[in-house]
Amino acid sequence: MALMTVYVDGERHRALPGQTVAALLLATGHRSWRTTRLGGRPRGVFCGIGVCYDCLLVVNGLPDVRACLRELRDGDRVETLRGARLPACTEAPETVRPVRDTADAEEADDEADEVA
Ligand code: FES
């Protein structure tokens, strides 16, 4: 059985085919690998079957991966979490556009009429 090479917070580890991220972390002495957003309380495996979401971490840049379900693949890069990592937002959604007040809207409309 060929061992795989994976990285946890940049540290090189050897893993078995079929081994989950949580199994590797527990086998290497980790008991928690993220903290809660509020209070910074430690979290690791709780249910071990994908129900509680306590074991979230980052795998290959993808956040919110459940360590208890994700089987390791050769070359995986696992990152533990401190607090929450929110997804990047590149564009403001339609619902948060600023609302112009009536005077500004009329002035803008007048300017648009002058240009046209
Ligand atoms: S330990 Fe509960 S979802 Fe992973």
Beta bridge partners of 71: 20
Average pLDDT, the chain: 84
pLDDT at residue 37, rounded to an integer: 83
Q: What is the pTM of this model?
A: 0.72
Rg of the chain (C-alpha set): 23
Q: Please tell me if the CB atom of residue 55 comes closer than 6 angstroms to any atom of ligand 1.
A: yes
CA distance 32 to 76: 19
| Most ligand 1 atoms within 8 A of CB, residue of 21, 31, 51 to mutate | 51
pLDDT at residue 53, rounded to an integer: 94
Residue ranges covered by each domain of the chain: 4-79
The answer to whether the CB of 4 falls within 8 A of the CB of 14 is yes
From the CA of 66, give the closest atom in ligand 1.
4
Question: 105 falls in which pLDDT band (50, 70, 90)?
Answer: low
4-79: which CATH topology? Ubiquitin-like (UB roll) (3.10.20)
The answer to whether the CB of 72 falls within 8 A of the CB of 56 is no
Question: What is the average per-residue pLDDT within 66-89?
Answer: 86
pLDDT at 66 over 70: yes
